[in-house]
Structure 1
Amino acid sequence: MSAERVIGAARACPALVRSDVRRLRRRPTRSSDHGLRRVTGPRDLGGVQAQATAPDAPSTSSATAAGTGRKVSRNPKVCVVGGGFGGLYTALRLSTLVWPGNSKPEITLVDQRDRFVFKPLLYELLTEELELDEVAPRFVDVLSRSGVRFQQGKVGEILPRGEEDGEGKVRLEGGAEIDYDYLVVAFGSGTRLDIVEGAEENAMPFCNLEDAIGLKEYLRREAGEGRRPKLAVVGGGVNGVELAASLADRCGDQALVQVITPGEDILESYPKDQRRNAWNALSAGGVEVRLGTKVRKIEKGAEDGGRYRLSVENAECGEEVVEVDKVLWTAGQKPSPIPEGVRESGAPGGSGSSESSFFTRNESGNVVTDENLRMVDSSYVFALGDIAVLAGEKESKYAFTAQVAFQQSDYVAWNVWSTINNQPLLPFQYQHLGDMMSLGQSEATVALPIGGLNLTGLPASLLRKTAYIYRMPTLEYTARLGFNWASKLLMGK
């Protein structure tokens, strides 16, 4: 593989580390490395135009799928299941890559919801700083100029690819079918509500669009009736701290907010400066923080009061019961495995999978991949985001964050391109770009991987907003969100 091609590949996947580039450059040049041409790849998430150098490849009518000996007599079809950060951005990256000859695939994105949710901005929806369409645009609008087809529906059955030129199928509940040659699974993650008795029935998670809208309506109703609700946020991680700060910012003295966490500090895995900034914001907003406190049980209170009873335990105070009006649960996330009820047919998968499953999964039901994010024992299935687990690992070594999914989408799109065009795949290399969290409309804390640099207050808020503006899925939404925030800043809102 020529040095020029390797450098081009690194530019197309900007998170590729230099050690891998050097390793690839040491490979001997093959006779097939001649006839290079410039290929312009998609804009990376930081707003930099990426370029890749790739060889002229045969058109799909005469191409052979990598590692399968399977000839494809038409344009390949790629089905991406899951429209979160990993799935949507993979589909968009695939659509903007330059495809040699006639190899550009038909790309279909499947999700059971009709909107893409930019989850880090749910707090801005709660505080009414942003509108619904800015935080959660419709898939059909996001994909309208991309060439990617959107299919709304819940997956009911996934069939593997047949021998030789047979296609795989994704069947949706209701009867719709999507044919595919290459499958990308990105089911995402959800909130863990199974670790405390009564949490599933009585606690409200804050994880998706429905949660944010439900909480927003509840607060509006309580304010309209002149009540001052007592809100318990369970969990002292980043989600709990952001939610508590947003509630304090929105409600002021119209609500009592407390954070309950079993840890000895909030944000225990975060830098000291960020913890201090978060403490200052919570204190300024009047948020009570109860450290070292474990929730043992959640029950519905008296029917006439409509309150909830939390049985908690603290090393200093022992056991007690806390009564609140709403329990907001942020204590932990869990990856969403292949959804229950999804039937699979084909060759047996790996450890922990049933005989009828062609997915290679671990005991938790997550898809096991190699370093290229391609499913083990498969040449055409890729997985990314919270559902993907590297072979040999019991669980993902990466945090369940948008930052990980953003970077993995670059690699999956590039590796699907490489597989179709018979080129080497790139191993995923994660680069941590820092931590950002919202602490209110004009407050945030940002830790950058540059000499331990930490920002707080308005500068951190502006940097966080700028980063998310650039990370919006299309230039149209980047411009729209940037204009909105700039207008509000100029008007002093």
Structure 2
Amino acid sequence: MTAKVVVLGAGYAGAGAINQLEEELDSTTELTWVSDTDYHLVLHESHRCIRDPSVQENITIPVEEIKSPSTRFIQSEVVDLHVDDQTVELADGDTIDYDYVLVTLGSQTAYYGIDGMRENSLTLKSLDDALEVHQAVKTAAKDATRNDPAKVVVGGAGLSGIQSAGEIAKFRDEHRAPIDIYLVEALDEIFPGNDPEVQGALRKRLQEADIEIMTDDPIVEATEDAIHFDEGDPLSYDVFLWTGGITGRDALDGADLEKEHNRVNADATFQTSDDRVFAIGDSAIIEQNDNPAPPTAQAAWQAAEVAGKNVARAIENRPMKRWTHKDKGTVISIGDKAVAHDVMGVPINTFGSFPAENLKKLIAARWIADITSWKRAMTAWSDL
């Protein structure tokens, strides 16, 4: 009897899992891949499009270059997952039957109930988002003067917020645009929860890029032209980009699975409360000793390999592998510069300059090579 396996999503987790599943599954299994885009976006490089939209050519990988001809691909939005019926509901009304489904739908921006945030901010969760931010910054700069510069505010000083602010600064510098940039964080330091050494290194480079950092005062409201703080004076803006956090996708609203903030709870084998549903990437909260696995590209890459093996093992009724996330370090770009921290195998705890910048490129290139080829990765090198 033919087993039907369906993978939902074309992010890091989805693309990586497709590669692994094609290795693990035999010809008696029907593999279907569903995504609302017909390409994989190298999301941790999408901020590059804020500075230069042409970068999109090298960070969007067509699914046809990733999957084998035997894998069926359906371009459609997933709107629901019916675990009792073992079906996936699509936006056009069609359904897909499955024996096993791997949920890798990623996440969407969390607004934390802040008044006006959803209505008045831009986000950075897709290629279209990045291009919209680029156009908004470009338009604001065009209408500004040296005496009345455009104000661009980035809310949230995590990985995405820091890198986005850096790209906006490079756009400003390359175009000699009259733009003031503000990076706003509710907590008392940028890159919250991380080593003070890397926080200090990032702060230094952001300040060198003439980005004003505002911390320790949460946003309580966003209007169409200003953000309002718990304590400080309002900050007017021409462009407001919010990168403050993530939550699960709406498609999982009605799924009868254990969830937190619409992210599916999964154990270290990636099985959920329904043993025919697996989940990895930002869609999932994956059990890992004291803390769940982080919602990062690195974790998704690692999980995808084991998830592909475990779906195959479930079909064959074999014991599944348990996954443990291994943090191999962090590399963050600020424009053309970068900071690396706690990189596995490197004796220096935090470093920048040429080594960090090229390590950042190598990480993205390695991922592109893994799902396609080194030829494509090297073509993309200058844009990474």
Normalised to the residue count of structure 1, the TM-score between the two structures is 0.70
Contact 1:337 1:364 in 2 (8 A): no
* Matching of residue 235 in structure 1 with residue 156 in structure 2: yes
Distance 1:479 1:274, change over 3 A: farther
Per the alignment, residue 196 of structure 1 pairs with: 114
Secondary structure of residue in 2 paired with 1:205: coil
Q: How does 1:12-411 map to 2 (within 5 A)?
A: 73=1, 75-97=2-24, 99=26, 102-103=27-28, 105-128=29-52, 131-143=55-67, 145=68, 147-160=70-83, 168-225=86-143, 227=145, 228-252=149-173, 254=177, 255-300=179-224, 308-314=225-231, 319-336=232-249, 338-340=251-253, 359-362=256-259, 364-378=261-275, 380-390=276-286, 397-411=292-306
Q: Following the alignment from structure 2 to structure 1, what is the Cα–Cα distance between the partners of residues 185 and 82?
A: 43
Give structure 1 stretches of 5+ with no counterpart.
Answer: 1-72, 163-167, 301-307, 343-356
CA RMSD of aligned residues (A): 2.7
The offset of 1:194, in angstroms, is: 3.5
> Quick one: distance in 2 between partners of 1:146 and 1:275?
46
Q: Please identify which structure carries the higher helix content.
A: 2
AA partner of residue 309 (structure 2):
W
Q: 1:434 maps to which residue?
A: 329
Separation in 2, partners of 1:401, 1:233: 20
Tell me by how many angstroms 1:161 deviates: 6.9
1:464 corresponds to 2:360:
yes
Deviation at 1:204, TM superposition (A): 1.2
Q: Secondary structure at the match of 2:294?
A: coil
Q: Give 1:439 deviation, angstroms.
A: 1.1
Deviation string for 1:51-73 (max 9, x for gaps)? Answer: xxxxxxxxxxxxxxxxxxxxxx2
Specify whether residues 175 and 360 from structure 1 end up closer, same or farther in structure 2 by C-alpha distance, changes over 3 A only.
Answer: closer
CA distance in 1, matches of 2:366, 2:69: 18
Report deviation, 1:272.
3.0
Gaps of 5+ in 2: none
Q: How far is 1:313 from its partner?
A: 3.6
Amino acid at match of 2:23: T
User: Contact between 2:271 and 2:279, CA under 8 Å: does it hold in 1?
Assistant: yes
Q: CA deviation at 1:129?
A: 8.1
**Displacement, 1:437?**
0.8
- 1:148–1:339: structure 2 CA closer, same or farther, 3 Å change rule? same
Q: Is the 8 A contact 2:257 2:274 kept in 1?
A: yes
- Asked if 1:417 corresponds to 2:312, the answer is yes
Q: Give SS of 1:386's match.
A: helix
| 1:338 Cα deviation from its structure 2 partner | 4.2
CA distance in 1, matches of 2:368, 2:238: 36
Give the Å deviation of 1:460: 0.4
Query: Equivalent residue of 1:423, what SS?
Result: coil
Offset from partner CA, 1:64-101 (integer Å, 9 cap, x none):
xxxxxxxxx2x3221011221112211121113374xx
Partner Cα distance (1:296, 1:156) in 2: 31
Output the CA distance in 2 between the equivalents of 1:183 and 1:229: 47
Contact 2:268 2:288 in 1 (8 A): no
Q: CA deviation at 1:459?
A: 1.4
- Give the drift of 1:289: 0.9
Shift of 1:149: 1.8
Q: Deviations over 1:218-275 (max 9, x none)?
A: 2333444555421111112222211111111121252110111122221132223322
What is the CA–CA distance in structure 2 between the aligned matches of 1:438 and 1:130, rounded to whole Å? Answer: 19
Q: Is contact 2:140–2:239 with CA below 8 Å preserved after alignment?
A: no
1:161-194 CA distance string (max 9 Å, x none): 77xxxxx332322233323221111221121124
Asked if the contact 1:206–1:212 (Cα under 8 Å) also holds between the matched residues in 2, the reply is: yes
Residue type of the alignment partner of 1:262 = A
* 1:404 Cα deviation from its structure 2 partner: 1.1
CA shift at 1:470, angstroms?
A: 0.7
Residue by residue, what CA displacement relative to the aligned partner does 1:343-384 show, whole Å, maximum 9, x if unpaired? xxxxxxxxxxxxxx6x33135443232321112342x22111
The one-letter amino acid of 1:221's match is T
For the 8 Å contact 1:161–1:181, the answer to whether it is kept is no
Q: Match for 1:480 among 367, 370, 376?
A: 376
- The superposition leaves residues 117-159 of structure 1 with CA deviations (integer Å, 9 ceiling, x where unpaired) of 211111222222862131123323433x453221011224444
SS in 1 for 2:218: strand
Q: Is the 8 A contact 1:92 1:148 kept in 2?
A: no
Bigger-Rg structure (1/2): 1
Cα distance in structure 1, aligned partners of 2:312 and 2:247: 30
Alignment partners' CA distance in 1, 2:350 and 2:112: 35
CA contact (8 A) 1:337 1:366 kept: no
1-structure distance, mates of 2:93, 2:241 = 37
Cα 1:248–1:365 shift into 2, 3 Å: closer
> Aligned pair in 2 of structure 1 residues 204, 454: CA closer, same or farther (>3 Å)?
same
How far apart are the structure 2 equivalents of 1:223 and 1:180?
50
CA distance in 2 between partners of 1:189 and 1:80 (Å): 16
TM normalised by structure 2 equals: 0.88
Report SS of the residue matched to 2:10. Answer: coil
Structure 1 stretches (4+) deviating beyond 6 angstroms?
Answer: none
